[in-house]
Amino acid sequence: MALGATLYNFDIELADNDRRVYESLALRVAQHPSESGEYLIARVLAYLLEFAEGIEFSGGVSDADAPAIAVRDRTGAITAWIDVGTPSAARLHKASKAAGRVAVYTHKDPTQFLRQLADEKIHRADALELYAFDRALVGALVARLERRVAFSVSVTDRELYVSIGAETLTGAVVRLNRGAGSSLAFYRERRQRSEGESE
């Protein structure tokens, strides 16, 4: 754990109906001093959506050469490189050469992220999996973040239902299409709908 890092304990009941993954998880996640609450929550949500045998968190932002989350086979080789935020095209180019599958979950403005990647050289660019979290959901979870927190997460049709205490928070995970605007329009529509429901 990095010097000065803050340790969080997450007790999570996961029911991913899309992938038929049902697990009770106890996660200890270190937050680097330079890591935002939004990035921490996005890391945890990405871990849940990607949960599989061999999954692990890396050293976080303190380990610049490693993915935020990796899935490794029994030999230790990375089979899935999972990044969070807005990684550069150069980083994704490197990741696509290092792992058979690369996915990115962003908690930031997806329009800017896709613009950043446009026309850049990325190895196996068509195979990249890019997703955007509902930013209102991420913000709501950050507002409820404590050093030890318990919640349940249900996933159905890429919609997240997070039950924490007496509350249930919802938000979509939208697949982004590099170089196209249709997914962005869908993302904005889902976000507006989510914000309207929370008012």
State the DSSP H helix or E strand holding residue 139, giving kind and residue range, or none if neither: helix 135-143
Tell me the C-alpha distance between 19 and 21, whole Å.
5
pLDDT of 191 > 90? The answer is no
Residue 177 pLDDT class (50, 70, 90 cuts): confident
Q: Any residues with CB less than 8 A from the CB of 159 and at least 6 apart, and which?
A: 170, 171, 172, 173
Residue 128 pLDDT class (50, 70, 90 cuts): very high
Joined together, the tokens standing for residue 135 give: 């930013």
Tell me the C-alpha distance between 104 and 154, whole Å.
20
**pLDDT (tens digit per residue) in 93-121:** 999 999 999 999 999 999 999 998 988 89
pLDDT of 2 > 60? The answer is no
Mean pLDDT of 166-190: 74
Q: What is the pLDDT of residue 61?
A: 64
Mean pLDDT taken over the chain: 90
Q: What is the pLDDT of residue 185?
A: 52
Go through the domains of the chain in sequence order and give each one's CATH number: 6-198 (3.10.640.10)
Q: What is the pLDDT of residue 182?
A: 44
State the DSSP H helix or E strand holding residue 4, giving kind and residue range, or none if neither: none
**pLDDT (tens digit per residue) in 135-159:** 999 999 999 999 999 999 999 999 9
Mean pLDDT of 176-193: 60
Tell me the C-alpha distance between 102 and 97, whole Å.
10
Q: What is the pLDDT of residue 58?
A: 86
pLDDT of 171 > 90? The answer is yes
pLDDT of 183 > 90? The answer is no
**pLDDT (tens digit per residue) in 44-91:** 999 999 999 999 998 766 677 899 999 999 999 999 999 999 999 999
